[in-house]
Amino acid sequence: MLWNIAFRTLLCDRGKLLAGLIGVIFSVVLVNIQGGLFFGLINKASLLVDHSNADIWVGHRGMHNVDFPHGIPERWIHRVRSIPGVQRAEPLRIFFSEISLPDGNFEGVTVVGVTEGSDLGRPYEIVEGPQDALSYVDGVVVDRCDNEKLCEPEIGDIREIGGHRVRISGKCQGILSFLVTPYVFTSYDRAGEFSNSDPTMASYFLVRVEPGADREQVCQEIRRRLGDVTAVVSEEYAATSIQFWMTRTGIGLSFGAATFLGLLVGLVMVGQTLYAMVLDRISEFATLKAIGSTEREIIVLLGAQSTVVAVVGITIGMGLTVLIRSVFSSPRAEIAIPSGLYLASAVLVFTICLAASALPYLRVRRVDPHQVLQG
């Protein structure tokens, strides 16, 4: 009975119903798109770790961000390889440099040197050029999404990195840095030449453990044998790299503030819609109270209206979110929406809609049914 009244009341004023639905839809879309952009951006901070195919990362003591390493002696890797449970360990070099451009300018790049013939530390898949692109003399791999920054390089083009000649031998897709500097992948030995630094130093050791081996125990043994390093499982280092940017920048605050404003707008629009409906039909609510409707039944009626608006608005909002994501998401501005965010946003917006029903209830609660009926 109450649900029927609530539904009919909403349909009697389609203009106000539409305004309420727009508020809910706006909140759902904004929360999911803002959240998706946030996750898509912040995940780039740990991209090299997530796609490294390594179980353990070993680096300088106190390492906190994958893009900002400090050198460790390359000879230490032999100690790592001798630890029980280690199946394979390879060195990795990461450093900042500049690449020459055809127009005479330079672009800052992050050079990543990986061991040839190993998948450890190789986060990319070749989409243009030969699969063994790094085996070519002076070969480097760049990402297609950085074409504009690198002045549209073609396979076979000659450039310079750190004063050394390089050849664009391959391109990957979607391996983008959280920083503005493009990733350039090359062989481990060649990276040492480009950096003009001590060739006996590596940035990291990437470790793959044997099947069934305890990764934490292997980490402890690495730290015991090499007292001046940090050894952590890949998931932990990925979280550390993300936390670095979360605490050093205002990215979390900015995205959170925008999301909060979206929820606030939705709350105000839904509350105003329900409040306006109550004012238009205050005599009807007075009649319900006069014929014996309890406070609980009035609350259920207003809650039912909020529920209808919330369910319809959330459904439409989710559909629009999926559409926007499929159309606008790209490697440069990825909209990565986990399933948990969809669920959390739906629950949050639904709760806000129910809370918004408190505003019209406060008005109905003050109605004197005798005075309204006499008028």
Question: Mean pLDDT for each consecutive 10-residue tract of the chain (375 residues)?
Answer: 58 69 82 85 88 94 90 93 94 93 90 89 88 88 91 92 91 87 92 82 94 93 90 94 83 73 70 65 61 67 76 91 90 85 87 73 62 54
Integer Cα distance of 262 and 250 in angstroms: 19
Q: What are phi and psi of 294, to 5 degrees?
A: -85, 165
Integer Cα distance of 88 and 80 in angstroms: 9
151: helix, coil or strand?
A: coil
Q: Give the pLDDT of residue 41.
A: 84
Give the DSSP letter string of 42-86: HGGGGHHHHTS--SEEEEETT---TTS---EEGGGHHHHHTSTTE
Q: Give the pLDDT of residue 94.
A: 94
Q: Give the pLDDT of residue 331.
A: 80
The residue whose two tokens read 């305890």 is: 214
Signed CA dihedral, 253, 259, 263, 269: sign only: positive
Can you name the residues that pair with 114 across neighbouring β-strands? 187
Integer Cα distance of 79 and 57 in angstroms: 15
The residue whose two tokens read 């929360």 is: 31
Q: Residue 25's closest CA among 273, 266, 336, 353?
A: 266
Q: Give the pLDDT of residue 351.
A: 82
CB atoms near residue 30 (< 10 Å): 21
Domain boundaries along the sequence of the chain: 2-43+250-374, 62-227
Q: Give the pLDDT of residue 111.
A: 93
HSE of 70 in the Cβ direction (CA atoms, 13 Å)? 8
Nearby residues of 91 by Cβ (< 8 Å), 6 or more positions away: 74, 77, 115, 188, 202, 203, 204, 205, 206
Q: Give the pLDDT of residue 91.
A: 95
Q: Give the pLDDT of residue 290.
A: 60
Q: Residue 61's closest CA among 52, 72, 50?
A: 72
Check if the beta carbon of residue 130 is closer than 8 Å to that of residue 170: yes
